[in-house]
C-alpha cells in the first residue's frame, strides 16, 4: 500500500462502521476542503519551503495582513487576517511570500475537474473547497466513504495536494465533518446518526452561530450542539426569532439545502493596504483608479455588470467605514466605477490618514440581462483588448499614464467568491 493511501485510511473516522449505504432515500454529500491550500501550493512550487512555517500575504515589514498560513506557522499562533508584522513577531523565522493568485486559480481548476469526474453536482464555495452530491454516483463508485478515499487519492496523485473530506447525508454535517480531523481527514457520518454526531460538539461549530449568538446561548446555559437541540422551538423563537427555529433544526442535524452546481459571484471587489497611512487625496484617487481597473476586468471576465459600488476605508486604529451608491446604469467599465469611488470618498469628508482602501461592485447582473439596446461601446472594446494584453504579459504590461508614478503594488487578493448557502464565509485559515 502506498504511503498516501495508508495515510488516508488511517485518518478515516466514522460515527458508525463504514458499511455500504443501505438507506437509499438518504443523500450522500461530500465536503472536500484542500488543506492550507495557498501555503501548500507555494510549497509545491518551491520544495525548499517544505517543513517551514509558510505565511502568505506579503513581506514581514509590510502593513498588510496574513492571507493564509501553513500548519507549521499556525503552531506559532499565526492565522489569517492577522497583521503581517504581528505574524513576524510570533514567527520570526517564517517564510513570508506575497502569494500567486493566478497560480492558485489554475490549481483550483485542476482540482475541480477531478471533483467533476465523480459527479456533475459540484458546488464550489471558494478556490479550495466544494460540496459534491454523489448520491447518483454510488452505483458506479461505491458508498460515500469509498468515493471520498478515491477522491483523496486522485487529488494527491494528480496535483500533489492533500484534501480533507467529510461525508454525510447533508451539507451541514459534511462541512463540519471535514473540519474535525484536519489535515488529511476523512470523517463519515452515517445516515440517521447526524444528531448524535453533532451533539458533543461546541455550539460555535454550528452554522449561524457567531460570537454574539454563541455568547447568548452560553448565557442561556447552552454550550454544546446537543444541548441546543434539546431546547424547545418556542423558547428559541422567543429568544432569537425565526433564526432560533433554524438553529434548532440544524442542531438536530437537519439541512435540506441542495448542492447547487454553479453560483455566480454576489460581489467582486479589491482592497489595498498602504505601507504607510495616506492622507494625500491624489494618491487615494490614483489607488481607486487602479482598483477600479482590477474590478472592471474581473467583471468582464465573469460576463457581469455592476449596479452599485461600495467604498471601504480603514483608518489608523483600524476604524473601518463603508459607503455605497447606485450607478446611473449597469457597467463593467472602470471609469464609472472609479468616478463612483471618488464621489463616495468625497462624501466621507474625512481628513484622517487612511490605512486601507477598497472598492466592491455589487448589484451584479449577467451580461444577457442588460437592455437589448445597449451596444458594446468603443471604450469596452478597448478595455477587453487591454485585458488580453495583461492576461498574456502580466498586470504591469500596460497601464494608464496617470498610474505610472502612483500605481500601488497590488497585494495578494482572494478575489471574488460566491456566498455559501447557509454556511460560514470561506476562510483558508480554518482549514
CA 174 → CA 9, 305, 342, distances in Å? 18, 34, 44
Q: Which residues 6+ apart lie within 8 Å of 17 measured at CB?
A: none
Average pLDDT value for the chain: 82
Residue 64: the pLDDT is 84
Q: What is the DSSP string of 83-131?
A: BHHHHHHH-TT-EEE---HHHHHHHHHHHHHHHHTT-S-EEEEETTEEE
Q: Is the pLDDT of residue 184 over 90?
A: yes
Residue 271: the pLDDT is 85
Same domain, 294 and 369: yes
Q: How far is CA 133 from the centre of its chain?
A: 20
Q: What is the pTM of this model?
A: 0.66
Q: Is the pLDDT of residue 9 over 80?
A: no
Q: Which residues 6+ apart lie within 8 Å of 365 measured at CB?
A: 304, 305, 307, 330
Residue 311: the pLDDT is 96
Q: What is the DSSP string of 365-402?
A: EEGGGS-TT----HHHHHHHHHHHHHHHH-GGGS--TT
Residue 230: the pLDDT is 92
* pLDDT, tens digit, 9 for 90 and up, residues 304-363: 899 999 999 999 877 899 999 999 989 988 999 999 999 999 998 888 999 999 999 999
Cα(298)–Cα(387) distance, rounded to whole angstroms?
9
* pLDDT, tens digit, 9 for 90 and up, residues 82-95: 999 999 999 999 99
Give mean pLDDT, residues 21-37: 79
Instruction: Name all contacts of 45-54 with Cβ < 8 Å and 24+ positions apart.
Output: 45/100, 45/103, 49/95, 52/93, 52/94, 52/95, 53/78, 53/91, 53/93, 53/94, 53/95, 54/94, 54/95, 54/97
Same domain, 298 and 402: yes
Residue 169 has which C-alpha cell? 447525508
Same domain, 363 and 247: no
What CATH number did the domain enclosing 219 receive?
1.10.150.20
Active site residue 13: no
Cα(180)–Cα(13) distance, rounded to whole angstroms?
9
Residue 365: the pLDDT is 86
Final residue belonging to a domain, choices 259, 278, 310: 259
Q: Is residue 145 part of a domain?
A: no
* pLDDT, tens digit, 9 for 90 and up, residues 240-269: 888 888 899 999 999 999 998 876 677 888
Q: Which residues 6+ apart lie within 8 Å of 279 measured at CB?
A: 351, 352, 353, 354
Q: Is residue 97 part of a domain?
A: no
Same domain, 288 and 209: no
Q: Is 71 exposed, middle or buried (0-12, 13-18, 19+ CB in 10 A)?
A: middle
CA angle 162, 163, 167 (to 5 degrees): 150
Query: Looking at the 3D structure of the chain, how many domains does it have?
Result: 2
pLDDT band at 79 (very low <50, low <70, confident <90, very high): very high
221: containing domain: 197-259
Q: Is the pLDDT of residue 111 over 90?
A: yes
Residue 83 has which C-alpha cell? 497583521
pLDDT band at 386 (very low <50, low <70, confident <90, very high): low
pLDDT cut 90: percent of the chain above it:
52
pLDDT band at 6 (very low <50, low <70, confident <90, very high): very low
What CATH number did the domain enclosing 342 receive?
3.30.1490.100
Same domain, 385 and 319: yes
Same domain, 253 and 347: no
Give mean pLDDT, residues 395-407: 57
Same domain, 234 and 299: no
Question: Nearest-CA neighbor of 18 among 186, 178, 165, 177?
Answer: 186
Q: Is residue 322 part of a domain?
A: yes
Cα(275)–Cα(356) distance, rounded to whole angstroms?
9
Instruction: Name all contacts of 315-324 with Cβ < 8 Å and 24+ positions apart.
Output: 315/277, 315/350, 315/352, 315/353, 315/354, 315/355, 316/277, 316/352, 316/353, 316/355, 318/355, 320/356, 321/348, 323/347, 323/348, 324/362
Q: Is residue 285 part of a domain?
A: yes
Q: Which of 42, 62, 123, 129 is catalytic?
A: 129
Cα(301)–Cα(256) distance, rounded to whole angstroms?
33
Strand partners, 163: 34
Q: Is residue 137 part of a domain?
A: no
Residue 314: the pLDDT is 92
CA 431 → CA 94, 180, 389, 410, 420, distances in Å? 19, 10, 36, 25, 16
Same domain, 239 and 278: no
Same domain, 343 and 275: yes
Q: Which residue has the higher pLDDT, 40 or 216?
A: 40
Question: Nearest-CA neighbor of 298 among 416, 409, 420?
Answer: 416
Same domain, 401 and 272: yes
Cα(366)–Cα(368) distance, rounded to whole angstroms?
6
Residue 378: the pLDDT is 61
Same domain, 230 and 311: no
Same domain, 280 and 250: no
Alpha-helical segments (H) within 233-309: 233-240, 242-251, 281-302
Q: Which residue has the cell 458533543?
A: 200
Residue 90: the pLDDT is 97
Q: Is residue 309 part of a domain?
A: yes
Give mean pLDDT, residues 70-75: 96
Q: Is residue 255 part of a domain?
A: yes
Q: Is residue 8 part of a domain?
A: no
Final residue belonging to a domain, choices 239, 259, 279: 259
Final residue belonging to a domain, choices 214, 238, 259: 259
Q: Which residues 6+ apart lie within 8 Å of 49 measured at CB?
A: 42, 43, 95
Give mean pLDDT, residues 38-60: 95
Amino acid at each position: 500500500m502506498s504511503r498516501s493511501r495508508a495515510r488516508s485510511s488511517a485518518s478515516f473516522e466514522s460515527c458508525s462502521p463504514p458499511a455500504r449505504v443501505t438507506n437509499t432515500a438518504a443523500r450522500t454529500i461530500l465536503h472536500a476542503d484542500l488543506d492550507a491550500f495557498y501555503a501548500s501550493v507555494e510549497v509545491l512550487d518551491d520544495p525548499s519551503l517544505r517543513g517551514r512555517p509558510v505565511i502568505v500575504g506579503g513581506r514581514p515589514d509590510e502593513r498588510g495582513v496574513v492571507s493564509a498560513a501553513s500548519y507549521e506557522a499556525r503552531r506559532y499562533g499565526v492565522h489569517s487576517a492577522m497583521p503581517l508584522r504581528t505574524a513576524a513577531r510570533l514567527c520570526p523565522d517564517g517564510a513570508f511570500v506575497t502569494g500567486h493568485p493566478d497560480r492558485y486559480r489554475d490549481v483550483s481548476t485542476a482540482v475541480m475537474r477531478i471533483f467533476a469526474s465523480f459527479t456533475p453536482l459540484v458546488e464550489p464555495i471558494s478556490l479550495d473547497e466544494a460540496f459534491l452530491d454523489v448520491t447518483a454516483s454510488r452505483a458506479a463508485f461505491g458508498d460515500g466513504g469509498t468515493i471520498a478515499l478515491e477522491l483523496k487519492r486522485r487529488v494527491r496523485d494528480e496535483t500533489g495536494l492533500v484534501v480533507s473530506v467529510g461525508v454525510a447525508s447533508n451539507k451541514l454535517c459534511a462541512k463540519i465533518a471535514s473540519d474535525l480531523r484536519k489535515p488529511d481527514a476523512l470523517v463519515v457520518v452515517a445516515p440517521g446518526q447526524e444528531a448524535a454526531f453533532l451533539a458533543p460538539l461546541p455550539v460555535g461549530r454550528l452554522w449561524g452561530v457567531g460570537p454574539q449568538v454563541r455568547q447568548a446561548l452560553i448565557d442561556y446555559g447552552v454550550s454544546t450542539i446537543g444541548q441546543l437541540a434539546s431546547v424547545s422551538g418556542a423558547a428559541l423563537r422567543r429568544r432569537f426569532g425565526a433564526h432560533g427555529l433554524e438553529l434548532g433544526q440544524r442542531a438536530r442535524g437537519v439541512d435540506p439545502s441542495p448542492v447547487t452546481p454553479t453560483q455566480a459571484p454576489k460581489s467582486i471587489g479589491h482592497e489595498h493596504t498602504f505601507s504607510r497611512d495616506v492622507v494625500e487625496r491624489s494618491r487615494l484617487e490614483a489607488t481607486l483608479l487602479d482598483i477600479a481597473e482590477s474590478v472592471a476586468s474581473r467583471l468582464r471576465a465573469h460576463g457581469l455588470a455592476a449596479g452599485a459600488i461600495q467604498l471601504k476605508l480603514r483608518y489608523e486604529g483600524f476604524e473601518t467605514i463603508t459607503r455605497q451608491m447606485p450607478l446611473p446604469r449597469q457597467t463593467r467599465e472602470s471609469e464609472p466605477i472609479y468616478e463612483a469611488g471618488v464621489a463616495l470618498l468625497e462624501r466621507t469628508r474625512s481628513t484622517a490618514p487612511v490605512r486601507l482602501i477598497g472598492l466592491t461592485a455589487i448589484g451584479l447582473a449577467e451580461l444577457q440581462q442588460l437592455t437589448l439596446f445597449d451596444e458594446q461601446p468603443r471604450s469596452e472594446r478597448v478595455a477587453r483588448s487591454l485585458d488580453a494584453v495583461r492576461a498574456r504579459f502580466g498586470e504591469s504590461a500596460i497601464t494608464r499614464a496617470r498610474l505610472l508614478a502612483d500605481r500601488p503594488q497590488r497585494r495578494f487578493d482572494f478575489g471574488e467568491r460566491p456566498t455559501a448557502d447557509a454556511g460560514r464565509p470561506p476562510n483558508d485559515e480554518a482549514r
